[in-house]
Amino acid sequence: MHPTPSGGKSISRECRVRLSWTLIWMLRVLNSFREDTLPCHLIVGIFRKSRFVATEFAPAMKNEIFVHTHKGSYVGGEVIHGTVFLCIHHSIPARSVKLILAGYEKVFFQEQKTEFYDQDDGTRGTRVVTVDRSGEHTFFKVHIDLVNYPGMNSVTSAIPRLSILGGFPMGQFQYPFSYQLPTSLPGVFRHHAHGAHGEVKCKVEYKIKAIVDIPHGKDLQCKQHIVIHEAIDRNIAPRHFIKDHTVKTLCCIPRGDIHCEAYMDKNAYQSGETAQVHVQVNNQSNVRVSHFNTKLIREIVLSTHHGHHRTIREVISSARYEGTPEQSSRSSDCPLPLVANGSWVQPSSNGKHLKARYEVLIELDIPWAPDLEIYAPVVMYAPQPVDWAQFQAPAWAAAAQVQNTVSIGGAPAPAYGGAPSTVAPQAWAAPPTETAALLSHQWMLHYKNGTVESNRKLVEELNAAKVPSKETVGHSHSQEVVVAPIAIHVDSVKKSLRPDFSVAVQNVYSEPKGAFTGEHSPHSVKDFGLEWVIIGHSERREIFKESDELVGKKTAVAISAGLKVIACIGEKEAERKSNQTEEVVFRQLAAIKAQLKEEQWSSVVVAYEPVWAIGTGLTATPEQAQEVHQAIRKWLAKEVSEKVSQDTRIIYGGSVKGSNAEELATKEDIDGFLVGGASLIPSDFITIINSASKK
């Protein structure tokens, strides 16, 4: 018998073993309460010869989970394709890995009403009370089990078996899924205000939540909000509004007639755009129209299950313009910014309890007489969500193992085979022609893949890569590779990168010099020893609202400073579906052409990047890509010159991977690639470089 630490009787070996396993199980359960990480100092106790021995383990890395969809916005009836990524640094007990997709609306508003009450003196008095009204409705809510451990659900013993306690295995995993949205979904919307009648809150919201279900502890989970657009046909021509108005001063004295026509450039606008309102006034009266206003008006109608209603009507933005003298006519093109106090306007929505509608009011101010008013209904839709567009996955996601695909309606979910391409650096690859093939490897702006250490590793792998030389390719030039890191890493990458690869910046400003804090001067970039710059990337156009004209001006200023430009062009999904691809890319090219002399085109590489294929896992077929590239080359021949058409490299950028680059490279007019997700995987990027030599 061995003495215990307290001096009592010793404990039998069997009892020590049971107590040991009990303590281990208790520590595991306690650990599950610590979210997704081990406690900083985990004390594991075992009884050995009646003595308590403590072992202290160092802190562990956190387990990670995130979900990412192939697009940031959808319309009812479309199929959401996405992937749940899971990184297990230390094993955890888990019942399941599940996905919840939900869409719903909620409204809340307060009303004030007067009621009678009995006073202390026996008389009846009145008072104003505030009453809360609310309503909610769920459009859909779907639970999807990606992984299920039935054993964990059936354990009733106080000490589950150790095989079950082992929990989720360590490693990196990805679970593709797809879900077909119901049709006729209302657009996302959110509003919160306090007014004379009390508080108003309402929203239409859609989200995806991924959960690792941990028994007796806090689940490991994440969520992504989804933007749903109101279903509209943006190709319908805008309506033309006509109104004839008899001017009656003091409401009774006829002074003649005014004929007014108004129309807008579109019937649907993205929040933040500027609507172009055309107004034509033929004033045949004897009264001057002093001025006229254009106003964006929003009407929110809220309702509850019990029939209570609240309507909120407000002017969101307005502009004032010069009027029309008597016995004269005037046409005016009136820009109307679609913003609210400097921020974007909430979209249109047509839910069960929440309806948000917009109209543009054209209001002619006529002194001493009723005004002439025209109301033009418009639809507002949300911009591309910035958090989705800027989201960047951790580096481990590229190596995550693809698990079984789960599909609920619609086509099966595509397996990404790595991190979502929107989270990746970008690269540019081209097959060899009589001029050099170009490959540009661009780090996107995020922490995980933008650290000093991650950049060092990427550069090391690029430096060690074997790529074809001009001797092995059999052409006068070999591939030209350009790496474009984020600005703070340009210097370190430039110093450490192999000499046959070039370094670029991701943007420059449109002025050669001046007080433009935070911008890059093209001359400073050139002075630093760089040769390349990327201009007009879809994210710059979409998120930072860079117009075609600004892209053209930047291109000209950069070339004048001695830089070579990767000029990006491409259409959105809606534009492609409405057969506007060529119209869009030709318009973007025309804005560049307007700023350049013919000889300056030798410093331009055109990058066709269809926006619908960037970060979606979708890729244009080789035939689709070739068709657009050929159209671009013909446009250059017609609008610039045949020489520019033949000499200009036109590269493709839309979810290019090592698995499809070789086939794309066989097409006659595809001179390279602007690569997305493959840039996170140097071996894949090297495959794309080498594919250029096989054309």
State how far the Cα of 170 lies from the Cα of 400, in Å rounded to an integer: 11
Quick one: pLDDT band at residue 170, thresholds 50, 70, 90? confident
Q: Are 214 and 32 spatial neighbours (Cβ–Cβ below 8 Å)?
A: yes
Name which of 61, 59, 56, 62 is nearest 39 in CA terms: 59
Tell me, yes or no, whether 142 lies in a domain. yes
User: Which is the catalytic residue, given 475, 537, 546, 571?
Assistant: 537
**Alpha-carbon span 352 to 349, nearest angstrom:** 10
pLDDT at residue 160, as a whole number: 34
Cα–Cα distance between 263 and 81 in angstroms, integer? 39
In this structure, of 133-147, 301-315, 337-351, the range with the lowest mean pLDDT score is: 337-351
CATH number for the domain spanning 525: value is: 3.20.20.70
Predicted TM-score (pTM) of the model is: 0.54
Predicted confidence at residue 690, as pLDDT, reads: 73
Q: What is the pLDDT of residue 687?
A: 78
Does 669 reside within a domain?
Answer: yes
pLDDT of residue 74 exceeding 50, the answer is yes
**What pLDDT is stored for residue 499 in this prediction?**
84
How far is residue 383's CA from residue 388's CA, in Å, rounded to a whole number? 11
* The token pair that represents 89 in the structure block: 């640094």
- Which carries the bigger pLDDT value, residue 514 or residue 208? 208
**pLDDT of res. 470:** 42
Q: Residues with Cβ < 8 Å from 154, sequence gap 6 or more?
A: none
637 and 683 both lie in a single domain: yes
- Top-confidence residue, 343 or 681: 343
User: Which residues, in sequence order, are CB contacts of 367 under 8 Å at separation 6+?
Assistant: 249, 287, 288, 290
Whether the Cβ atoms of residue 101 and residue 140 lie closer than 8 Å to each other: yes
For the record, the structure tokens of 191 come out as 């509003």
One-letter amino acid identity for 5? Answer: P
Please, which pLDDT band fits residue 12 given cuts at 50, 70 and 90? low
- Asked if residue 593 belongs to a domain, the reply is yes
- Whether residues 90 and 27 share a domain: the answer is no
Residue 663 is predicted with a pLDDT of 84
Q: Which of 107, 574, 189 is nearest to 382 (CA)?
A: 189
* pLDDT higher than 50, residue 57: no
- Mean pLDDT for the chain overall: 80
Residue 213, domain extent: 64-156+167-229
Picking from 619, 628, 537, the residue whose alpha carbon sits closest to that of residue 581 is 628
- 31 pLDDT higher than 70: no
- Which SS3 state, helix, strand or coil, does residue 524 take? helix
Q: Are residues 317 and 437 in the same domain?
A: no
536 with 610, same domain?
yes
Q: Domain of 89: which CATH number?
A: 2.60.40.640
Cα separation, 135 vs 108, in Å, equals 7
Lowest-pLDDT range of 24-33, 99-108, 450-459, 484-493: 24-33
Quick one: 216 and 292 in the same domain?
Answer: no
Residues 454 and 540 in one domain: yes
Q: Which of 78, 105, 546, 609 is catalytic?
A: 609
Residue 224 pairs in a beta bridge with 208
40-53 in b/e form (b: 16+ CB < 10 A) is eebeeebbeebeee
Q: What is the pLDDT of residue 235?
A: 55
Residues 434 and 303 in one domain: no
pLDDT per residue over 390-448, tens digit each? 788 888 888 888 876 666 654 444 443 333 333 233 333 333 233 344 555 554 433 33
Number of domains in the chain: 4
On the question of pLDDT at 655 being above 70, the answer is yes
Given the DSSP bridges, would you call strands 289-303 and 309-324 parallel, antiparallel or unpaired? Answer: antiparallel
Residue 275 sits at the vertex; the CA angle it makes with 616 and 335, to the nearest 5 degrees, is: 140
- Residue 63, pLDDT > 80, answer yes
Residue 168 is given by DSSP the state B
* In a domain? residue 299: yes
Task: Quote the pLDDT of residue 1.
Answer: 41
Question: What's the rounded mean pLDDT across residues 628-650?
Answer: 95
Position 282 confidence tier, pLDDT thresholds 50, 70, 90: very high
In a domain, 5, yes or no: no
> Of 35-39, 172-176, 291-295, 543-547, where does mean pLDDT reach its minimum?
35-39
- Of residues 401 and 135, the one with the higher pLDDT is 135
Residue 142 pLDDT class (50, 70, 90 cuts): very high
What is the model's pLDDT at position 412?
46
Q: What is the structure's pLDDT at 562?
A: 93
Q: Mean pLDDT, to the nearest integer, of 144-168? A: 51
| Domain identity same for 323 and 308 | yes
SS3 401: strand
Residue bearing the bigger pLDDT, 601 or 620: 601
Q: Residues 341, 453: one domain?
A: no
Would you say 414 and 185 are in contact if contact means Cβ atoms under 8 Å apart?
no
Residue 455 confidence (pLDDT) above 60: yes
Q: Are residues 76 and 175 in the same domain?
A: yes
Residue 301 lies in a domain: yes
Residue 602 lies in a domain: yes
Active site residue 609: yes
Least confident of 207-216, 449-458, 474-483, 623-632: 474-483
* C-alpha span between 292 and 321 (Å, rounded): 5
Please indicate, yes or no, whether residues 602 and 481 belong to a single structural domain of this protein.
Answer: yes
Nearest CA among 583, 635, 585 for reference residue 610: 585
224 band by pLDDT with thresholds 50, 70 and 90 = very high
Residues 474, 370 share a domain: no
The answer to whether position 314 is within a domain reads yes
The pLDDT of residue 633 is above 60: yes
